[in-house]
Amino acid sequence: MSDQFEPRLIGFLCRWCSYNGADLAGTSRMKYPPNLVPIKTNCSGRVDPTHIFKAFAEGADGVLIAGCHPGDCHYINGNYRTAGRFPLMKKMLEQLGLEPGRVRLEWVSAAEGDKFARVVTEFTEEIRALGPLGWRTQTDVDPAQAGSAASDRVEEAVPA
Amino acid sequence: MSDKFKFAMYWAGSCGGCEIAVLEIKDKILEVDANYDVVFWPVAADFKYKDVEGYDDGFIDVCLFNGCIRNSENEYVANLLRKKSKVLVAFGACATMGGIPGLANEATAQQLKDLVYRDNPSVDNPEGIYPQEKYEVPEGELELPHLYDTVKTLDQCVDVDYYVPGCPPEAHQIGAVLDAVTAALKGEAELPPKGAVVGAAPKTCCDECKRVKEEKKISGFRRMWEFFPDPEKCLLEQGVMCMGPATRAGCGARCTNVGMACRGCYGPPDGVVDQGAKMLSTLASIVDAPTPEEIAEIAGTLPDPVGTFYRFGLASSLLRRAKV
């Protein structure tokens, strides 16, 4: 094992196009990094910003959302919802200090196994260059320590 | 002391509006007085921390705690009151979800101090004097509480029994909560299940709003000073950024009924984890444009998504703060 940082990536893949694209990459024996944990969703439009925020809050270094190409959505316009949400969500995450490259939206059809492999390879390398995110540790550091200290003061001040 | 129930109220990181809201219950305050002894309430009665420290554990029957946890003093008193109270209520938007002070999570404590004591254009501070946590004077050492980098909600700090949202909570809701607790203390009724949101409804603000709602399609955002909104029509449909769809009901939609957009002070409704994420999702679905690029352009005209969607809820959101 080398010492290089292995990013932990979450991928929300729509079941009609992108998940099948990932399957095709696998059955075609294409090589790509194992860093992405795929999660099958019914539609990229089903991926609520809540899911993405939770992924980051729980330790993901990057999040990929992949769905059908515009016009190809199994539910007619689900991917338009995604496309509309994405820029505003990205703006919000940037406002909170997250590097814009940590969240990525791609259209991958069921026939594009090669594109899926390429996207995951690129994304992994980009996030590797950005380094670990560690959202949870950075939110907990200061208050957690002070919190235990405050509890101790209560113990001292209040005779049992 | 008499055999009345014991009542306490405390303000941590807050503006004091919650205290005023309690007085808004008008003559019902006499009922509170008939049933309760105030044993700690800095705004109304002269009790010190050492008085509270001297009480037995669980001595206070009900404590309404308003304000967020912003510094070491807030956290100390939160722990103290948790130990001394049978029922601890997170009261108001700040205690339940961080409130307006929670927006400080967009910066660090040092950045805030720099802005307030050095960088603000109206500040004249050539010697660079900053507040010190400890300071020696002839009489001894003075101490200020330590300002935290991250604002916390009450339940991120101690165990909380009930939540009463609102900035401030509506008077009739406060009355209802006090009635429920009093009835339970007297043994006439059961307390609501622990962790319940009391004094509010499970649905969204839109459910209580009287405005007419149709198919929502907007082609841009407008602010209240830019036009005269139609008094009957849904504000969001008119392009005004209204938080109603992602906000808990219970206030009677007072703001929207008088033409002011909902700002989201009652927090997310039942089943929603993150108010801002849900509002973002709602908004993107109603922007009316044919291509993703145009949708992005319209959405981009909203200047401050974090401050708008998390006006009251940044500290309790999934991400909780900006990256430091």
Model confidence at A1, in pLDDT bands (50, 70, 90)?
A: low
- At B251-265, the pLDDT tens digits run 999 999 999 999 999
Q: Which segments within B72-143 are labelled E, that is strand?
A: 85-91, 134-137, 140-143
Distance from CA of A137 to the nearest CA of B (A): 10
What 8-state DSSP symbol labels residue B323?
A: -
- Give domain status of residue B294, yes or no: yes
- CA-wise closest residue to A35 among A69, A72, A68, A60: A60
Quote the number of domains for chain B. 3
Element spanning A36, H or E: strand A36-41
Domain parsing of chain A, residue ranges:
9-135
- Give domain status of residue B200, yes or no: no
Sequence-distant (6+) residues with CB within 8 A of B253 are: B205, B206, B208, B209, B210, B244, B262
Mean pLDDT of B50-64: 95
Residues B28 and B176 in one domain: yes
Residues B90 and B161 in one domain: yes
Contact A153 B274 (CB under 8 A): no
- Give domain status of residue B289, yes or no: yes
Report the alpha-carbon angle B88-B36-B166, nearest 5: 45
Sequence-distant (6+) residues with CB within 8 A of A70 are: A79, A80, A83, A107, B291, B292
Residues B252 and B306 in one domain: yes
Instruction: Beginning with the edge strand found earlier in the chain, give each strand of the sheet holding B85-91 in spatial order.
Output: B36-40, B5-11, B60-66, B85-91, B162-164
Distance from CA of B46 to the nearest CA of A (A): 20
- Give domain status of residue B324, yes or no: no
Distance from CA of A29 to the nearest CA of B (A): 33
**ipTM at complex level:** 0.89
- The answer to whether domain A9-135 has CATH 2.10.25 is no
Residues B19 and B155 in one domain: yes
Model confidence at A139, in pLDDT bands (50, 70, 90)?
A: low
Residues B11 and B131 in one domain: no
- At A80-109, the pLDDT tens digits run 888 888 988 998 999 999 999 999 999 999
Residues B128 and B91 in one domain: no
The dihedral sign for the CA sequence B132, B136, B138, B141: positive
Specify whether the CB–CB gap between A129 and A102 falls below 8 A.
Answer: no
Residue with tokens 């254009």: B121
Return residues 260-279 of B near A (CB < 8 Å): 273-274, 276-278
Model confidence at B291, in pLDDT bands (50, 70, 90)?
A: confident
Question: Omega of the bond prior to B168 within 30 degrees of 0, cis?
Answer: yes
- At B90-115, the pLDDT tens digits run 999 999 999 999 999 999 999 999 99
Model confidence at A147, in pLDDT bands (50, 70, 90)?
A: very low
B47 contact A CB<8A: no
Specify whether the CB–CB gap between B309 and B276 falls below 8 A.
Answer: yes
Residue B294 is predicted with a pLDDT of: 84
> How high is the mean pLDDT of chain B?
92
Q: How many Cβ atoms sit within 10 Å of the Cβ of residue B9?
A: 23
| Partner-chain residue, chosen from A80, A141, A150, that has the shortest CB–CB distance to B75 | A150
- At B210-263, the pLDDT tens digits run 999 998 888 888 888 899 999 999 999 999 999 999 999 999 999 999 999 999
Q: What Rg, from alpha-carbon coordinates, does chain B have?
A: 22
A146: pLDDT strictly greater than 70: no
Sequence-distant (6+) residues with CB within 8 A of B111 are: none
Residues B170 and B221 in one domain: no
Return residues 77-96 of A near B (CB < 8 Å): 80-81, 83-89, 91-92, 95-96
Residues B268 and B289 in one domain: yes
Residue A145 is predicted with a pLDDT of: 43
Specify whether the CB–CB gap between B60 and B8 falls below 8 A.
Answer: yes
Look up the domain containing B126 and give its range: 108-148
Residue with tokens 């009957």: B232
Contact B284 A88 (CB under 8 A): yes
Token reading at A44: 């990229």
- CA-wise closest residue to B284 among A115, A108, A9, A65: A65
- Give domain status of residue B190, yes or no: no
Residues B215 and B155 in one domain: no
Residues B154 and B142 in one domain: no
- Give domain status of residue B199, yes or no: no
B296 contact A CB<8A: yes
Residue B1 is predicted with a pLDDT of: 59
How far apart, in Å, do the first and last CA atoms of chain B sit?
Answer: 50
Residues B12 and B117 in one domain: no
- Give domain status of residue B180, yes or no: yes
Residues B124 and B159 in one domain: no
- Percent of chain A at pLDDT > 70 equals 85
- Give domain status of residue B166, yes or no: yes
Contact B277 A142 (CB under 8 A): no
Strand B147-152 with B69-71, pairing: antiparallel
Distance from CA of B246 to the nearest CA of A (A): 13
Specify whether the CB–CB gap between B198 and B177 falls below 8 A.
Answer: yes
